[in-house]
Structure 1
Amino acid sequence: MKVLVTGATGFVGRALLAHLQTLPQFDVRAAMRSSAVDRLPPASQYVPVGDLDANTDWHAALAGVDAVVHLAARVHVMHEQAQDPLQAFRKVNVEGSVRLAQMAVQAGVQRLVFISSIKVNGESTPAHQPFSETSACAPQDGYSISKLETEQALQGVARSSGLALTILRPPLVYGLGVGANFASLARAVARGTPLPLGRIANQRSLLAVENLVDLITTCLTHPAAAHQTLVVSDGEDLSTTALVQRIARAMDRPAHLLPAPVWMLMGAATLLGQRAAAQRLCGNLQIDSSKARTLLDWNPPVTVDEGLRRALVGYRL
């Protein structure tokens, strides 16, 4: 099977390419916005395609391809410069994805696996009421709105063409080389910084990159994955306190946790303009991924502890 991976130089894209290259049934090609070959796994086939929008030329990238894994997207921007952020997200994520899907159909591609986000469903869940595939959609920022609109647009292309579309909605994905908030937390633990996170009794779902890559691989060939939307997680939810403790254990270091009450954390974060970040640390976001397990007979191959161990190998003494 000839597979095109978009967003191939990203965190998940690199892991997916490396995995698929070990499997003889797949012939893998990477699509990139530039010729940053040094960011790809060795011996990768690649095709530069330029920026992702309604005018991207996918002809060379799609030639002879049987399936596409679409990871490329405009993601969260720490210091947003766009005058209209929602339109900037739509230009790349919606218009660019529709262009890819339409050209894929014209090129004879049979299957498209689109990586969306659990943020399509919302930013948090009530305790013990996890998101599932039947949960209402409640995106709350430009990124998640554009992801939902992309899902809807791709479903329209699939209905009119017969393209076998699979949509995956992961939560925070962690693994070797991950950045953003997970990396900041890991650095703090590695430095021995005392963290006021010792009394947080929330529950959050995470996803090891190895588990996401394994599920994507399954969806490329499993007949039952066609025309499905699946939410996915590791299957073990952790409190923020437990996550810090597991991170410390994975690095063979002590966790320096201060038992600050949640109300104090939220108050301090509000004063510092970081209320949303504090809500992510203190709130619940749980996922019920039983549909993927039952429908595809899929089980995450990597436990949380093993996923953290692999992700944090560079932090250990």
Structure 2
Amino acid sequence: MTTYLITGAQGFLGRYLVAHLLEHEPDCRIVGLGRSPRNDESFTHQILLGQQNTPAPLTDALRAVAGDERYSYVQADLSQMAQMVGTLRDVRPGVIFHLASALRDDPVDILFQTNVVGSVRLLEAVAAAQLGDPKVVLASSGGVYGIPLPDSLPLDEQAVCRPNDYYSISKLSSEQATALIAKHSRIPTVTGRIFNVVGPGQDERHVCGRIISQLAAIGSGATSAVRIGALETTRDFIDVRDVAAALACLSRHGAKGETYNVASGQETSIQQVLDLSLDVADLADRVEVHHLPGRPADIPRHFGSNERLGQLGFELQYSLRQSLADILGYYRGCWAQAEEQAAAKTSPESS
């Protein structure tokens, strides 16, 4: 039986990874780790329904994890060495997925403390715990490539890294620090550079969540238009469920010390995302689109090659259309639930 430890287990990707492992590996044990108390009802982010921010509810599939005895959760801080060493010795994981990360728009000190120092502390704790070399899968970002050099698209793992924001710099620094400690401590590591993640439950900070949430609001009569910025920018969108499967694949087949792109391999413009979203919602030609002013994108085009990941036997299961349809279903469900709760509060029986 394999025991997995997942840092950042209550994050968006972490929850999907837990669910994936439970579904595909009947004989496993999973311990989630994070700074926040265990929460089996909602994501850590909020979504906007009308004028009210509310905790983003988990999908039914993710909520079902709470009833699985193979999963447990430990509240712990990566910066507390003694606590981490004790936790690692108690859990004795065979595989560690390091997903804990600060968000792109967090202050710079938090970015480096969480993404760089947090990774260093985890590897130091693994070395100190003397566990027999569990494999560590580091979740990095496709953003580390930054501004692509001419003729370098799609970006493969040999592309020059030129990160152009603090978040991407912190993720590249995390990779480098992890590799250094792993080399000296002989800890087997593998890195997944994850591109633009999409999927049910995604919040409005990300472009797909932002577009789809507005379409769901239109369906509920809360607004009549979609507001969006630059449409020419291209990115590489990959479903969170495919990302979870890819990380599991890396834990089994990824070569020690190597890096793999976790990408769809497809270049998609924001205009294409908008058009596909309108089609999925059956709102094409029936919705006003307000183009917001904004500066040109720092990185106009960005997408990765997933050829190396494919050589491990990995195959994508979700098209972008399916991902957008599932995000729409999620937001429509949230609106329906909010409307039911509002109706219950105003009904005569509730007074």
TM-score bracket for the superposition, by shorter chain length: 0.7 to 0.9
Q: 1:46 aligns with which of 48, 73, 81?
A: 73
Residue type at the aligned position of 1:97: S
1:210 is aligned to 2:238: no
Distance 2:160 2:330 in 1: 39
8 Å CA contact 1:65, 1:109 repeated in 2: no
Residue type at the aligned position of 2:118: G
Aligned to 1:174: 198
Aligned to 1:272: none
8 Å CA contact 2:139, 2:193 repeated in 1: yes
Q: 1:113 aligns with which of 137, 157, 167?
A: 137
Aligned to 1:193: 225
1:243: how far off? 0.6
1:307: how far off? 2.0
Residue type at the aligned position of 1:57: Q
Aligned to 1:14: 15
CA distance 1:252–1:302, shift in 2 (3 Å): same
Residue type at the aligned position of 2:212: A
Aligned to 1:284: 301
1:28: how far off? 0.8
SS state at 1:297 partner: coil
CA distance 1:155–1:28, shift in 2 (3 Å): same
Q: 1:300 aligns with which of 316, 323, 328?
A: 316
8 Å CA contact 1:56, 1:99 repeated in 2: no
1:313 is aligned to 2:340: no
1:155 is aligned to 2:179: yes
Q: Is the radius of gyration larger for structure 1 or structure 2? A: 2
1:162: how far off? 2.5
Q: Report Cα offsets for 1:78-123 as digits up to 9, x if no partner.
A: 6x4xxxx2x3322221111111112223333420001111111105
Distance 2:137 2:214 in 1: 35
Aligned length: 293
1:297: how far off? 1.9
SS state at 2:234 partner: coil
CA distance 1:56–1:240, shift in 2 (3 Å): farther
Distance 2:276 2:133 in 1: 42
1:134 is aligned to 2:134: no
1:232 is aligned to 2:262: yes
1:195: how far off? 4.9
Q: Which has the higher strand share?
A: 2
CA distance 1:307–1:47, shift in 2 (3 Å): same
CA RMSD, 1 decimal: 2.6
Segment drifting more, 111-120 vs 300-309: 300-309
Distance 2:190 2:136 in 1: 6
Distance 2:159 2:249 in 1: 24
Distance 1:25 1:111 in 2: 18
Aligned to 1:72: 100
CA distance 1:61–1:300, shift in 2 (3 Å): farther
CA distance 1:252–1:164, shift in 2 (3 Å): farther
Distance 1:93 1:128 in 2: 27
Gaps of 5+ in 1: 270-274
Q: Report Cα offsets for 1:28-86 as digits up to 9, x if no partner.
A: 11001022232573133011103x336472134323211100000112236x4xxxx2x
Aligned to 1:97: 119
Distance 1:98 1:157 in 2: 7
Residue type at the aligned position of 2:36: S
CA distance 1:24–1:257, shift in 2 (3 Å): same
Distance 1:127 1:254 in 2: 35
1:61 is aligned to 2:78: no
Distance 2:215 2:240 in 1: 21
TM-score relative to the length of structure 1: 0.83
Q: 2:273 aligns with which of 226, 243, 249?
A: 243
TM-score relative to the length of structure 2: 0.75
Distance 1:74 1:4 in 2: 19
8 Å CA contact 2:145, 2:162 repeated in 1: yes
8 Å CA contact 1:111, 1:163 repeated in 2: yes
1:312: how far off? 2.2
